[in-house]
């Protein structure tokens, strides 16, 4: 293979801290990045605006938003108004788990990757902080890699797309440090499960707590924009 040949990567970009870091690293490593955001009816549409800003900052060749009206099924605190977003960690699989979310997002990324002849799909799954989510675990990713090798034209000759999970085994603090290294502007990322329309964070939900602790442990100032000054970290 020509070492100068373009490597195309579809990068799943939610607008959160993790996927922003994934995009920044992929771009810095010379990938031609095609950012895909999936709007599956999540409450925090501010994430999509954040994704646009991040895709532009890191020079994505394209940024596409795919809408899936999956929220008609409910079943998760992130898509169903009848289920409250929890304020504290829970045992087992959290109510913020969205059924089959990563399977759906990877399937959509696989379709675009095939059309683009992209060699890689990058996804910011993390098995440390999100061990409660089945579809963030290494076994799930391995199974999807196997499926990807059988699901597309590549099965009749050609190389299967590689599923790249650079954050899989990192702590939140390590992800933040890596993001800083690759120039992520974390003030533009939205992690909160119930951000307001402007993207301001609640400061109370699981995602906010994890993020805040990550900045503390990384010893990096938390640039998160919170809804109320009282919720700013000390």
Q: Site residues for a copy of itself, window 77-96 (CB under 8 A)?
A: 92-93
Q: Please answer whether residues 189 and 182 qualify as being in contact, where contact means their C-beta atoms are separated by less than 8 angstroms.
A: no
- For CA atoms 48, 98, 138, 9, the dihedral sign is negative
Rounded Cα–Cα distance for residues 182 and 26 (Å) = 9
Q: Which of 31, 43, 58, 101 binds a copy of itself (CB under 8 A)?
A: 101
∠ CA 88-90-95, rounded to 5°: 95
Contact 134, 144 (CB under 8 A): no
Range in contact with a copy of itself (rule: CB under 8 A) among 122-130, 144-152, 177-185, 199-207: 144-152
Closer residue to a copy of itself (CB): 114 or 213 = 114
215 binds a copy of itself (CB under 8 A): no
**Any contact of residue 120 with a copy of itself (CB under 8 A)?**
no
Question: Contact region for a copy of itself (CB under 8 A) — 52-60, 103-111, 186-194, 200-208?
Answer: 103-111
Q: CA torsion sign, 169 to 171 to 23 to 111?
A: positive
Smallest distance from the beta carbon of 231 to a copy of itself, in angstroms?
31
Residues in the chain: 234
Please state, in angstroms and as integers, the Cα–Cα distance from residue 181 to each residue in 22, 126, 172, 194, 218, following that order.
12, 19, 14, 28, 12
Q: Are 125 and 135 in contact (CB under 8 A)?
A: yes
**Smallest gap, in angstroms, from Cβ of residue 148 to a copy of itself?**
8
Q: How many residues bind a copy of itself (CB under 8 A)?
A: 44
Binding flag, residue 182, a copy of itself (CB under 8 A):
no
Q: What would you report as the CA-atom Rg of the chain, rounded to the nearest whole angstrom? A: 17
Nearest to a copy of itself of 147, 200 (CB atom):
147
Which one of residues 67, 169, 181, 228 is an interface residue with a copy of itself (CB under 8 A)? 67
Distance CA 69, CA 11 (A): 21
Q: Which of 152, 171, 177, 227 binds a copy of itself (CB under 8 A)?
A: 152
Binders of a copy of itself in range 37-66 (CB under 8 A): 64, 66
Q: At residue 49, what are phi and psi to the nearest 5 degrees?
A: -65, -40
Query: DSSP class of residue 186?
Result: G
28 backbone dihedrals φ, ψ, rounded to 5°: -65, -30
Q: How far is the CB of 64 from a copy of itself (least distance, A)?
A: 7
CB of 112 to a copy of itself, least distance (A): 5
Residues in contact with a copy of itself by CB under 8 A are: 64, 66-70, 72-75, 92-93, 97-104, 106-108, 110-112, 114-115, 134-135, 137, 139-140, 143-144, 146-147, 150-156
């Amino acid at each position: 293979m020509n070492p100068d040949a373009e490597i195309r990567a579809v990068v799943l970009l939610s607008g959160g801290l993790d996927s922003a870091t994934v995009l920044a690293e992929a771009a810095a490593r010379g990938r031609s990045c095609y950012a895909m955001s999936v709007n599956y009816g999540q409450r925090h549409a501010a994430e999509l605006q954040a994704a646009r800003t991040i895709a532009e900052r890191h020079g994505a060749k394209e940024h596409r938003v795919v809408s899936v009206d999956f929220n008609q099924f409910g079943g998760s605190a992130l898509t169903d108004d009848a289920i409250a977003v929890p304020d504290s960690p829970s045992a087992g699989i959290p109510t913020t788990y969205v059924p089959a979310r990563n399977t759906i997002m990877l399937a959509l990324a696989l379709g675009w990757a095939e059309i683009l002849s992209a060699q890689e799909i990058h996804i910011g799954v993390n098995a440390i902080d999100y061990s409660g989510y089945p579809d963030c675990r290494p076994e799930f990713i391995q199974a999807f890699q196997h499926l990807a090798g059988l699901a597309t034209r590549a099965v009749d000759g050609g190389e299967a797309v590689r599923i790249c999970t650079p954050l899989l085994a990192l702590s939140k603090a390590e992800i933040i440090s890596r993001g800083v290294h690759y120039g992520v502007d974390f003030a533009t990322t939205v992690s909160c499960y119930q951000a307001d329309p402007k993207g301001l964070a609640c400061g109370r939900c699981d995602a906010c707590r994890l993020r805040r602790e990550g900045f503390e442990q990384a010893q990096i100032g938390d640039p998160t924009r919170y809804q109320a000054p009282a919720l700013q970290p000390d």
